[in-house]
Amino acid sequence: MKNVIQCFGKTVMSFSKKEAIHDSEYQKFTDSQYCIKRDTYWDTLKFLLIFLVVLGHFPGPFRVESANTILVNFVYLFHMPLFIFISGRFSVLRDRTKYRRAIARILETFLVFHTIKYIGGHWGAMSFTSYLHPTWTMWYLLSLAFWRIMVYVVPERIMRRKDILLPMSIAISLLAGFAPLSTHLSFQRTMAFLPFFLLGYYSNDFDLRARLRKIPLWVAVGTLLSAFAMVCIFFSHTNLTTDVLHASIPYRNNHAAFLCFARALFLVSGTVLSVAVMRLVSGNEIVALWGRRTMFVYVAHSFAITFIRPFMANGLLPTDTLAIAVYSVLLTTLLTYLGRFKVSQWILNPVSGLIQVLNVGKSDVTPR
């Protein structure tokens, strides 16, 4: 209780009197479901990754330039594997009640924003079957909910068996591509990225930072530069995301064996490059503060990009790689700033917010 009071006091003192910096339930939950001092390293890494998510989504249909194709292919080699790794690391079950509530809030955010995007994109041609396919970026929220439900329902004694579950997750990832399901309830991605989630989950069993420090910096830099050079040489005009890096559709029948092998290579390269990135990142207090608000940026950036793209398509905004990088910096900065306000939590979880207000209102009513 003393630690909780001290932590609460520090948190309150860190807020300004007029304008509180808001951490959503997602960020609160990642403090291992208790009031534990946050590690600036992980928050710094999260901000870097959410910027890469925005950067990777901006080019979209504007990949006619080889530079844009190279950018997307390189970023997708590691940014979601590492993002999912961090999600797994902070998904250890310690408090079942808080864990259950966190899952419910993730599902709430998914349902609200998936429904909004679905209606906007399928107006006049809506059906229950098509609704079961998460729209664009919403797949991650649904997959995250499924992964955490797995942690919640699987007995702890089984979850401890990483010697069994990790190899099993790799087999599931590779075999899932043969299943005749694509984006149905984010099936392919949930299965394909499962090894990264479990790697993050089991990284709590040892001092990861100490092991990362043993890797020479030149090795980490060389690994990333080598991967970038490979993309520039062999894949400057080939979109790898559709069949391999997105992992959202089953293997094509005429190339099933090759695509299964490609997914295996992706699991290896995603892990190696993620380790290299983690080695190069160091904690920064200012950047870490911004890295606490990644959920709002993740949910909101796709709506912003959808609004901006018509201006790019009509030639009102340039579509070269440098311009896309500038747009990504500005949009990430803006959304991170907006995420500091309490209204961002209302946007992410409007139903929970309304219920909370109603409950507070009831508690304020005293019988006469």
Confidence of residue 182 (pLDDT cuts 50, 70, 90): confident
pLDDT above 50: residue 109: yes
- Whether 133 is in a domain gets the answer yes
**Residue that the structure tokens 């005429």 belong to:** 254
Has residue 9 been placed in a domain? no
Give the pLDDT of residue 164.
97
For the segment 299-305, the average pLDDT, to the nearest whole number, is 95
Tell me, yes or no, whether 8 lies in a domain: no
Query: Would residue 199 count as lying in a domain?
Result: yes
pLDDT digits (tens, 9 = 90+) for 219-249: 999 999 999 999 998 887 777 776 788 899 9
Count structural domains, the chain.
Answer: 1
Residue 14 within a domain: no
pTM of the model: 0.87
Question: What is the model's pLDDT at position 345?
Answer: 87
**Predicted local confidence at residue 24, as pLDDT:** 43
Task: Quickly state the pLDDT bin for 160 (edges 50, 70, 90).
Answer: very high
pLDDT, position 360: 66
Highest mean pLDDT among 57-66, 95-104, 350-359: 95-104
pLDDT for 298 beyond 50 = yes
Q: Is the pLDDT of residue 8 over 60?
A: no
Tell me, yes or no, whether 13 lies in a domain: no
pLDDT of 26 above 50? no
pLDDT score of 267: 97
Q: Is the pLDDT of residue 75 over 90?
A: yes
pLDDT of residue 364: 54
pLDDT of the residue at 37: 60
pLDDT mean over 325-329: 95
Residue-number span of the structural domain to which 121 is assigned: 23-362
Domain membership of residue 268 (yes or no) is: yes
Q: Is residue 205 part of a domain?
A: yes
- Confidence class for position 361, pLDDT limits 50, 70, 90: low
User: Could you give the CA distance from residue 328 to residue 53 in angstroms, rounded to a whole number?
Assistant: 9
Average pLDDT score over the chain: 86
Q: What is the 3-state secondary structure (H, E, C) of the chain?
A: CHHHHHHHHHHHHHCCCCCCCCCCHHHHHCCCCCCCCCCHHHHHHHHHHHHHHHHHHCCCCCCCCHHHHHHHHHHHCCHHHHHHHHHHHCCCCCCHHHHHHHHHHHHHHHHHHHHHHHHHHHCCCCCHHHHCCCCHHHHHHHHHHHHHHHHHHCCHHHHCCHHHHHHHHHHHHHHHCCCCCCCHHHHHHHHHCHHHHHHHHHHHHCCHHHHHHCCCHHHHHHHHHHHHHHHHHHCCCCCCHHHHHCCCCCCCHHHHHHHHHHHHHHHHHHHHHHHHHHHHCCCCHHHHHHHCCHHHHHHHHHHHHHHHHHHHHCCCCCCCHHHHHHHHHHHHHHHHHHCCCCHHHHHHCHHHHHHHHHHHHHHHCCCC
Per-residue confidence (pLDDT) for residue 356, from 0 to 100: 80
Q: Give the per-residue pLDDT at 237.
A: 74
Share of the chain above pLDDT 70, in %: 86
Kindly provide the b/e burial profile for residues 293-324, where b requires at least 16 CB atoms within 10 angstroms of the residue's own CB: bbbbbbbbbbbbbeeebeebeeeeeebebeeb
pLDDT on residue 362? 61
More confident residue, 21 or 59: 59
CA nearest to 94, candidates 40, 135, 148: 148
Question: Model confidence over 346-357: pLDDT tens digits?
Answer: 999 998 888 887
> Which amino acid is located at 246 in the chain?
H
